[in-house]
Amino acid sequence: MNSFWIILLHTYLTKLKSKSFIITTILTVVIVLGLTNIQNIINLFDKGGAKETVAVLDETGKLYEPLKQQLAAINKEIKLTIYSHNEKEAEKAVAAGDFDALIQLRLNQEQLPEAVFKAKSIADTSLFTDLQTGLQQLKTTFAASKLNLTQAQLTKLYEPVNFKKIALEKNAKTEEELNQARGLVYFLLFIIYFAVIMYANMIAMEVATEKSSRVMEILISSVSPIKQMFAKILGVGLLSLTQLVVFLLVGYYSLKSNMNSFQDGFWDVFGFGNVPVMTIIYAVVFFILGYFLYATLAAFLGSLVSRIEDVQQMITPMTLLVVAGFMIAMFGLGKPDTPFITITSYFPFFTPMIMFLRVGMLSIPAWETMLGIVILVATIIVLAIFGARVYRGGVLMYGKSSSFKDIKKALQLTKNE
């Protein structure tokens, strides 16, 4: 058993001290800090910036002031300025950077407002959208005055219809709870997706690297291949947990220090204001089970190749399974109760993401969740037994390996031991 822990600690410490791991961790921490401080970063750059200025050519002489009042309620950062010169001069002023855009106001044949928007580039649509919204509201006001509608009548006309959603199923989640759960599940699905791909690939690369350097020949003479495989899986598992703990601690403290900038915004929309404890527990459970499922698969696939260059080709089907599960989960965010999502949640390679999606979004019976977990655990055990046999023979195979026919060769070598 000592050899098992030696390999486990060696795998863990070697990867922990590697430059690639340190650089990846630092870069990810920087990204986490950037995302959690995004509002402060935006405010920092906006402090020195001036308001968006728009030159106005009002051909009617009566649209400028009403439009200015409408925009004041939409976006106070837009500054309208009457331009006294002609159109050509106004275009030159925009081209020179004196104004961000030019808007020409006129009345059509029905005496309703219309406009032409001109800017150096129309790639940024935010300014145009705000101006269009203001002009649309102005047009509505003009049309209402022609129909002799009062402001109260106009407000009543555009008042949103009262249309409530009520779930009849017992313990069903409310609309607000669903929106919060959707954001939280979306966030955690990304963590599960990227973590499973990254760390499973790391295991396959670790095995292939040792085989390519002929270290495996020394290892198998003193340690059984099965011990090697599970020691590497647990070693990289500890590494993944170490990295995730760093990310979560940095993210938590950064979010906590910037809580005010997230109030009634990102924080509440994505459901982080009141995270259910069971959701977090299920996220951890499905993350760990998903990791062991794909890590075991990656370990014996990595044992089939002798060159690092062949690793990606060999594990591509495994990666496609993860991607397929993630894409199905993304579809399920909008329709989590469809039969397709229910059925695929019991397919073990999709269960970590899709069953977690159902748990987070729906109030499903506990037995369904437990059934998914049991299926997943059973699959991991079967895959571990089969994978250990393949691994035992695979580590003895050298030469170019790029076909799944090599699994049969690996199993044959195991029988001949």
pLDDT at 371: 93
Q: Cβ neighbours of residue 53 under 8 Å, at least 6 residues apart?
A: 79, 81, 98, 99, 100
Please compute the mean of the pLDDT values over residues 68-92 and round it to a whole number.
83
Residue 322 has pLDDT above 90, yes or no: no
> Sign (positive/negative) of CA torsion 25, 30, 34, 37?
positive
Structure token pair of residue 232: 């590497």
Among 25-29, 163-167, 364-368, the range scoring the smallest mean pLDDT is: 163-167
Residue 369 has pLDDT above 70, yes or no: yes
Dihedral angle over CA of 299, 303, 306, 310, nearest 10: -50
Residue 375 has pLDDT above 90, yes or no: yes
Residue 223 has pLDDT above 80, yes or no: no
Q: What is the mean pLDDT of the chain?
A: 77
Scan for tokens 């399920």, then name that residue: 332
Residue 269 has pLDDT above 50, yes or no: no
Please compute the mean of the pLDDT values over residues 236-251 and round it to a whole number.
83
Residue 403 has pLDDT above 60, yes or no: no
pLDDT at 54: 86
pLDDT at 214: 54
pLDDT at 401: 55
- For residue 105, report the phi and psi dihedrals to the nearest 5 degrees: -100, 135
Residue 338 has pLDDT above 50, yes or no: yes
Q: What is the DSSP string of 165-202?
A: ----STTPPPHHHHHHHHHHHHHHHHHHHHHHHHHHHH
Determine the 3-state secondary structure of 79 from DSSP.
strand
**Edge to edge, what strands does the sheet with 101-107 contain?**
78-82, 52-58, 101-107, 113-118
Best CA proximity match to 137, nearest among 62, 70, 60: 70
pLDDT at 296: 80
Among 24-33, 59-68, 232-241, 299-308, the range scoring the smallest mean pLDDT is: 299-308
pLDDT at 174: 64
Residue 3 has pLDDT above 80, yes or no: no
Residue 304 has pLDDT above 90, yes or no: no
Structure token pair of residue 378: 């059973």
**Alpha-carbon separation of residue 184 from 151, 269, 326, 378 (angstroms):** 42, 9, 15, 28
Please compute the mean of the pLDDT values over residues 308-324 and round it to a whole number.
81
Q: State if pTM tops 0.75.
A: no
d(C-alpha 399, C-alpha 123), whole Å: 54
